[in-house]
């Protein structure tokens, strides 16, 4: 607690032996003199007070010598004054206020005095009051004039009699009833799609009316994505290739022969593809972007590359196996369709023979 309160009793201060324990900061000629006198009377050195306040000794010396030019910015200097006064037992608030009076802030320029002299206010007060009253009276008078001009005397109505429909809510003699909504006229309906009986079964080998047949067909031959060229295509021609490698996004693809020679190396853009020749023995090197390459076998999607290096012979073997399987399925469906057609023809012939005999 600061000892420099300045509120001691007058009878004690008037005693001839009275002496302040800590001199007041306001009694010294300057702030620096007051800080120096208080430090000398406390018997402590600048080094000791620097350790207590954590303020460099050169700044404490500058405060005692009123050398404010060597101090840092005003915020830190104010904090140093407050800490030094508190360590010496002085009133830090009085010390800060005196510091601000003796060292004005150079960053804030002096402003010209503003305001109006009291004599000017007294001189122009009646005119200002009169102008304000005149403005208020003008606004009030204008509103009153508008209201009076819009007022009209009551006039009798031009309607001789009230129509009966106004009182009944409808035309006399008629009633309005709502019925259920009617269906659309026949000429506005969409005709049902006509499907030739047996045509889809004959073309696909699957009866569209049988849910079991549709489910079995979907499980046996799922629909796959077909190859869609969306960029440049390198490598062999379409008739001499069963394997196509297509880049999903920009990535590098290298094809190396068995003896180490590079057959193909390119930075493919998204959609670019490379066709592999049939029977080629090589290694597909997709570096670390192998998952960004789609593999198409016989024109249908066969997944993506699963490793950084994939033998091309492995992809060609898969393509050939899928081609043989597809050929077997087509032959089986064709044979079944032919047998079914023969049975249907025999049935029709037998029916015609029975009808002719009868």
Hey, which of 14-23, 46-55, 159-168, 341-350 has the most confident mean pLDDT? 46-55
Q: What is the number of alpha carbons within 13 Å of residue 125 lying toward its C-beta?
A: 8
With a pLDDT cut of 90, the percent of the chain lying above it is 4
| pTM of the complete model beyond 0.75 | no
In the beta sheet, which residues pair with residue 276?
243
What's the CA dihedral at 69, 71, 77, 83 to 10 degrees?
Answer: -130
d(CA 307, CA 321): 21
| DSSP three-state, residue 344 | helix
In the beta sheet, which residues pair with residue 252?
267
d(CA 25, CA 232): 90
Residue range 314-350, pLDDT digits in tens: 888 888 888 888 889 888 888 888 888 888 888 888 8
Structural tokens at position 17: 């032996």
Is 296 buried (19+), middle (13-18) or exposed (0-12) by CB count in 10 A? buried
Q: Of the ranges 25-34, 112-121, 200-209, 213-222, which one carries the lowest mean pLDDT score? A: 112-121
HEC letters along 150-183: HCCCCCCCCCCCCCHHHHHCCCCCCCCCCCCCCC
Q: Does the structure show a pLDDT above 50 at 2? A: no
Start-end of H helices in the chain: 10-13, 31-42, 46-53, 57-64, 74-87, 92-102, 118-150, 164-168, 199-204, 211-220, 312-357
Residue range 273-290, pLDDT digits in tens: 999 888 888 888 887 677
Taking the alpha carbons at both ends of the chain, their separation in whole angstroms is 135
pLDDT for the residue 138? 93
- b or e along 57-76 (b: 16 or more beta carbons within 10 Å of the residue's beta carbon)? eebbebbbebeeeebeebee
Q: Are 107 and 76 contacting, i.e. CB atoms less than 8 angstroms apart? A: no
pLDDT for the residue 172? 55
Q: Are 287 and 309 contacting, i.e. CB atoms less than 8 angstroms apart? A: no
Q: Between 118 and 268, where is the model more confident? A: 268
pLDDT for the residue 196? 80
pLDDT for the residue 134? 93
Mean pLDDT of 132-153: 86
pLDDT for the residue 5? 45
pLDDT for the residue 168? 52
pLDDT for the residue 139? 93
> What does R_g of the chain's alpha carbons equal in angstroms?
54
pLDDT for the residue 137? 93
Query: What does each C-alpha distance from 55 to 37, 100, 118, 228 come to in angstroms?
Result: 19, 19, 49, 78
Count of beta carbons in the 10 Å neighbourhood of residue 55: 20
pLDDT for the residue 6? 47
Q: Does the structure show a pLDDT above 70 at 165? A: no
Count of beta carbons in the 10 Å neighbourhood of residue 52: 14
d(CA 331, CA 209): 23
């Amino acid at each position: 607690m600061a000892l420099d309160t300045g509120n001691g009793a007058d009878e004690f201060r008037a005693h001839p032996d009275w002496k302040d324990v800590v001199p007041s900061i306001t009694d010294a000629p300057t702030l620096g003199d007051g800080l120096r006198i208080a430090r000398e009377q406390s018997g402590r050195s600048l080094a000791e007070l620097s350790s207590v306040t954590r303020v460099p000794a050169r700044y404490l010396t500058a405060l005692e010598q009123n050398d404010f030019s060597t101090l840092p910015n005003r915020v830190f200097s104010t904090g140093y004054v407050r800490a030094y006064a508190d360590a010496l037992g002085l009133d830090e608030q009085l010390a800060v206020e005196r510091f601000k009076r003796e060292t004005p802030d150079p960053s804030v320029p002096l402003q010209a005095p503003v305001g109006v002299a009291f004599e000017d206010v007294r001189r122009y007060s009646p005119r200002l009051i009169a102008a304000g009253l005149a403005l208020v009276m003008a606004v009030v008078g204008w509103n009153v004039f508008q209201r009076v001009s819009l007022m009209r005397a009551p006039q009798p109505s031009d309607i001789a009699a009230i129509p009966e429909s106004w009182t009944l809510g409808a035309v006399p003699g008629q009633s309005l009833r709502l019925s259920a909504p009617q269906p659309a006229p026949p000429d506005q309906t969409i005709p049902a799609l006509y499907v030739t009986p047996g045509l889809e079964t004959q073309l696909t080998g699957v009866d569209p009316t049988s849910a079991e047949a549709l489910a079995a067909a979907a499980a046996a031959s799922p629909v796959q994505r077909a190859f869609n060229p969306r960029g440049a295509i390198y490598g062999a021609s379409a008739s001499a290739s069963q394997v196509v490698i297509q880049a999903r996004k920009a990535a590098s693809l290298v094809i190396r022969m068995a003896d180490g020679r590079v057959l193909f190396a390119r930075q493919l853009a998204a959609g670019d593809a490379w066709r592999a020749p049939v029977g080629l023995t090589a290694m597909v090197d997709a570096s670390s972007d192998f998952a960004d390459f789609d593999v198409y076998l016989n024109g249908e999607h066969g997944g993506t590359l699963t490793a950084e290096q994939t033998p091309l012979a492995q992809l060609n073997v898969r393509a050939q196996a899928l081609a043989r399987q597809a050929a077997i399925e087509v032959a089986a469906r064709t044979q079944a369709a032919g047998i079914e057609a023969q049975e249907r023809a025999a049935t029709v012939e037998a029916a015609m023979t029975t009808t002719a005999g009868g």
